[in-house]
């Protein structure tokens, strides 16, 4: 009987395990996770999951894993891979055999230099345990300092304000959301936060962050200091590639995989935040995506190819973020765009369409209350996948239905 091991019990690993059964795989499946919980959703940790601070939002109940004959080994860390013997050694000394192996090891928050790992008042947000620790400090009137103006930092700021905490956010770059979000939308989000009472400091270099008595302190390079009850660092993520690198697998901004998610070893696949892969809609450009939907899509694709389907990447990158009552959605990658067209919609919502030098739609970025931009971003995603070259004037006009452009 075949054995498939999945290292990494997050979104990607769990989705892959169930997808293997849906593909008809009848062998043994074991899902190995370092945390004590069953696989759970991570996006809620900076949103409602943080505010509620109860149990995590589990991807599936224990009974579903049992019914699908998926063995879940929690609280276990894979220490090494022996590719010749096709075994994985765990931290407790156990050795597990595999016929095929999927690495879904994810990514970890980038640490701020010089901060001790055991600092109680300086935290990073990645796990449910992190969310519990941060939530405990966010009492009404508490002061939270956030280092980093990306999605996680801004979502955390919105949740903290809803809980009644004071928030100051420090970003070293000239604006928030510098990575992958157009300046026009970033400015909208920044103003939204300021209206809600968040103090945003951009272009500030940080000399140090440190615990101070019952709180913590941010020391800026210009000599200014920011006192807080807690500091949360959100300055990006680092792919967990150490296990793969030690096994001799190719590494390139993550575990390098081909269009089928196969690593440099034909019996080992990698998927999700930990891997870099070629994007067919962007000339095969190699990218690494830290996104919920990408983890789902690649979990399903890895499962298909672990059982020999030979399928290739076809999805367009898609991201979303909740900011108070507004939702930001992005389809595609805007890098390389030469023309940007704005479409204004009802309720203050708008979408930016990004076209390359040949007029091909390569990305769409939108923001609006609730699901105001969801339908058009989905249609834009389909236009991107089709390689469409829509008329910019038609894109700009709210009277033009994108479904009509797609049909054309």
Q: Integer distance in angstroms from the first to the last C-alpha of the chain? A: 50
- Dig out the tokens for 145 from the structure: 């300092």
Quickly name the fold that domain 111-235 has. FAD/NAD(P)-binding domain (3.50.50)
Phi-psi category of residue 203: left, alpha or beta, with phi > 0 → left and psi -120 to 50 → alpha: left
Nearest Cα residue to 272 out of 293, 245, 248, 251: 293
325-407 is a CATH 3.30.390.30 domain: yes
Nearest Cα residue to 113 out of 260, 247, 219, 223: 219
Stretch(es) of the chain classified as CATH 3.50.50.60:
3-107+238-306, 111-235
pLDDT of residue 106: 97
Q: What is the 3-state secondary structure (H, E, C) of the chain?
A: CCEEEEECCCHHHHHHHHHHHHCCCCCEEEEECCCCCCCECCHHHHCHHHHHCCCCCECCCHHHHHHCCEEEECCCCEEEEECCCCEEEECCCCEEECCEEEECCCEEECCCCCCCCCCCCEEECCCHHHHHHHHHHCCCCCEEEEECCCHHHHHHHHHHHHCCCEEEEEECCCCCCCCCCCHHHHHHHHHHHHHCCCEEEECCCEEEEEEECCEEEEEECCCCEEEECEEEECCCEEECCHHHHHCCCCECCCEECCCCCECCCCCEEECHHHEEEEEHHHCCEEECCCCHHHHHHHHHHHHHHHCCCCCCCCCCCEEEEEECCEEEEEEECCCCCCEEEEEECHHHCEEEEEECCCCCEEEEEEEEECCCCHHHHHHHHHHHHCCCCCCHHHHHCCCCCHHHHHHC
pTM to 2 decimal places: 0.95
Stretch(es) of the chain classified as CATH 3.30.390.30:
325-407
Phi-psi category of residue 211: left, alpha or beta, with phi > 0 → left and psi -120 to 50 → alpha: beta
**What is the spatial distance between Cα 30 and Cα 69, in angstroms, rounded to a whole number?**
9
pLDDT of residue 1: 61
Instruction: Answer yes or no: are the C-beta atoms of 60 and 39 closer than 8 Å.
Output: yes
- Dig out the tokens for 190 from the structure: 């920044």
pLDDT of residue 53: 57
Instruction: Answer yes or no: are the C-beta atoms of 40 and 59 closer than 8 Å.
Output: yes
pLDDT of residue 51: 65
pLDDT of residue 213: 87
Tens digits of pLDDT across the chain (408 residues): 699 999 999 999 999 999 999 999 999 999 999 999 999 999 988 887 676 657 789 999 999 999 999 999 999 999 999 999 999 999 999 999 999 999 999 999 999 999 988 899 999 999 999 999 999 988 889 999 999 999 999 999 999 999 999 999 999 999 999 988 999 999 999 999 999 999 999 999 999 999 998 999 999 999 999 999 999 999 999 999 999 999 999 999 999 999 999 999 999 999 999 999 999 989 999 999 999 999 999 999 999 999 999 999 999 999 999 999 999 999 999 998 999 999 999 999 999 999 999 999 999 999 999 999 999 999 999 999 999 999 999 999 999 999 999 988
Residue 345 makes CB contacts below 8 A (sequence gap 6+) with 351, 368, 372, 373, 376, 398
pLDDT of residue 49: 67
**What is the spatial distance between Cα 209 and Cα 219, in angstroms, rounded to a whole number?**
6
pLDDT of residue 55: 78
β-sheet with 285-287: strand ranges across: 255-256, 275-279, 285-287
Q: 């708008």: which residue's tokens?
A: 350
pLDDT of residue 76: 96
pLDDT of residue 180: 86
Q: Looking at domain 3-107+238-306, what is its CATH homologous superfamily?
A: FAD/NAD(P)-binding domain (3.50.50.60)
CA dihedral of 325, 43, 201, 216, whole degrees rounded to 10: 120
């Amino acid at each position: 009987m075949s054995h498939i091991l999945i290292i990494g019990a997050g979104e990607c690993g769990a989705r892959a395990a169930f997808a293997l059964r849906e593909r008809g795989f009848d062998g043994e499946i074991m899902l190995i996770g370092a945390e004590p919980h069953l696989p759970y959703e991570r996006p809620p940790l900076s949103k409602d999951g943080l505010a509620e601070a109860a149990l995590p939002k589990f991807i599936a109940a224990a009974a579903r894993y049992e019914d699908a004959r998926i063995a879940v080994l929690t609280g276990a860390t894979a220490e090494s891979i022996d590719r010749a013997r096709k075994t994985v050694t765990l931290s407790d000394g156990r050795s597990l055999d595999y016929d095929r192996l999927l690495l879904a090891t994810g990514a970890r928050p980038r640490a701020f230099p010089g901060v001790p790992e055991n600092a109680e008042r300086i935290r990073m947000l990645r796990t449910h345990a992190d969310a519990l620790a941060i939530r405990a400090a966010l009492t009404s009137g508490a002061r939270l300092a956030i280092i980093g103006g990306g999605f996680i930092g801004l979502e955390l700021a919105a949740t903290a304000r809803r809980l009644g905490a004071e928030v100051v956010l420090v970003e070293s770059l000239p604006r928030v959301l510098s990575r992958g979000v157009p300046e026009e939308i970033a400015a909208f989000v920044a103003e939204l936060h300021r209206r809600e009472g968040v103090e945003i400091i951009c272009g500030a270099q940080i000399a140090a962050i440190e615990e101070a008595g019952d709180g913590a302190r941010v020391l800026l390079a210009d000599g200014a200091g920011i006192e807080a009850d807690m500091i949360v660092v959100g300055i990006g993520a680092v792919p967990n590639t150490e296990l793969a690198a030690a096994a001799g697998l190719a590494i390139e901004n993550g575990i390098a995989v081909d269009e089928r998610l196969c690593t440099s070893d034909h019996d080992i696949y990698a998927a999700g935040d930990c891997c870099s892969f070629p994007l067919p809609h962007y000339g095969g450009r190699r990218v690494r995506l830290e996104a919920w939907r990408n983890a789902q899509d690649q979990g399903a694709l890895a499962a298909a190819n672990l059982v020999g389907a030979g399928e290739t990447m076809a999805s367009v990158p898609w991201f979303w973020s909740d900011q108070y009552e507004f939702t930001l959605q992005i389809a595609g990658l805007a890098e390389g765009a030469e023309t940007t067209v704005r479409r204004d919609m009802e309720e203050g919502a708008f979408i930016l369409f990004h076209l390359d030098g040949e007029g091909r739609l390569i990305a769409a970025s939108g923001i609006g209350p609730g699901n105001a931009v969801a339908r058009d971003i989905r249609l834009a995603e389909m236009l991107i996948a089709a390689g469409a070259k829509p008329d910019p004037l038609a894109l700009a006009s709210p009277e033009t239905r994108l479904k009509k452009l797609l049909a054309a």
